[in-house]
Structure 1
Amino acid sequence: MNQTILPQGELLSCNEIQLHYKRQLFETMPHLNDVKEVEKYLRDMIDLKRIDLVEFFWVLYLTNSNRLIAMAEIGVGSSTQVGVSVKTIFQKALLVNAIGIIVAHNHPSGNLQASDADISITKKISQAAKFLDMVLIDHIIITSEGFMSFAKEGLL
């Protein structure tokens, strides 16, 4: 801790923050170059018994070459919505030094259509990513029966 004495004799302190990060070995990181690979990875990682119950929101954090660094569950909601913190998404992205992100959520109803709220949060996440020199690669809606890609539908 660095300390400085101010003119009136007050003590000012400055705490330093250190972060240590070691990524996985490159060859062990899944390579997610295609939306079908992303869907398969999600289905392998999430609890499929719960996706028809309530909405979840997940983020996949990627390197510049689309290697998966990490996956995080950002929110758990109700049967019709899930709250999403853009701040939380990018706190984690910065911590793992991500370049790209893929966001995903489920629709318990089975409807694969993007809602106005889905489109709105996607735009907000995309704008925040650009500001931080990152890229939102895709937003996936997943159900028990299938999936929808915002990128493939031209919604990004």
Structure 2
Amino acid sequence: MKPLVPSTLVLSSCEIELHYKRPLYSEMSFVGCAEDAVRLLKDYVNPHQLDLREHFWVILMTNANRVISICEVASGTTLGVQTNIKYIFQLILKTNAVNVILAHSHPSGNLKVSTRDVKETKKFLRLAKLMDITLLDHIIITSESFSSFAIEGLL
């Protein structure tokens, strides 16, 4: 008989169990437009960090656009931020979110949508459609203003 190595023993007894309890409906914020999302983000983010480095957030919502959670998924440099799309989808699945808003900051203050912003958003959209997840918007925020992919017709 072949001896079992420790990794085989662990893998053969693995079990994953997920526990989730959504926030109370009456306490969940509602997002009806980009301005609502920006207000919510400005309450959540550290204003002293907006002009310092690029950050990336995801707003996870129910099918009624009630906010389940806001998560900072990455923090980068003044030149950019590296996101992990797998991590974003893990958060979506763990919270049972249906609607999502992506957001990131541009510390330069420039609200122009970059080629990379468009590429990453399209990649997210392709995967989200496969999982019946709706990307409502991708917002770029600065300390002064914001830009919305939805408003600009980029979604």
Map of 1:51 onto structure 2: 50
Amino acid at match of 1:25: L
2:108 corresponds to: 109
Shift of 1:58: 0.3
Measured against aligned partners, the alpha-carbon deviations of 1:91-130 in whole angstroms (never above 9, x if no partner) come to 0100000001100000011001100000000101111111
Residue 36 of structure 2 aligns to which amino acid in structure 1?
A: E
- TM-score of the aligned structures, taking structure 1 as reference length: 0.91
**Partner Cα distance (2:82, 2:32) in 1:** 28
Q: Provide the residue aligned with 1:5 in structure 2.
A: none
User: Which consecutive unaligned segments of at least 5 residues does structure 1 have?
Assistant: 1-7
Which protein has the bigger helix share? 2
Give the whole-Å Cα distance in 2 for the aligned partners of 1:136 and 1:127. Answer: 10
1:39 match: 38
CA distance in 1, matches of 2:101, 2:129: 14
Rounded to whole Å, the distance in 1 between the matches of 2:24 and 2:3 is 49
Name the CA distance, whole Å, in 2 between partners of 1:88 and 1:32: 23
For residues 82 and 25 of structure 1, what CA distance do their matches in structure 2 show? 33
Give how far 1:31 is off: 0.5
- 1:125 and 1:69 mapped to 2: Cα distance? 19
TM-score (norm. length: structure 2): 0.92
Aligned length: 149
Q: Aligned equivalents of 1:10 and 1:94: distance in 2?
A: 38
Partner residue, 2:68: 69
1:128 maps to 127
| Code of the aligned partner of 1:67 | R
Task: Write out per-residue CA displacement over residues 18-55 of structure 1, whole angstroms, 9 at most, x where no aligned residue.
Answer: 11111111110001111111110011110111110100
How many Å separate the matches in 2 of 1:10 and 1:154?
61
% identical aligned pairs: 46
Give the superposed CA RMSD.
Answer: 1.3
**Distance in 2 of aligned mates of 1:32 and 1:102:** 10
Greater CA deviation, 136-145 or 11-20? 11-20
Deviation at 1:14?
3.8
1:51-104 deviation digits (Å, cap 9, x = unpaired): 101000000000000000011111111101000111000001000000011000
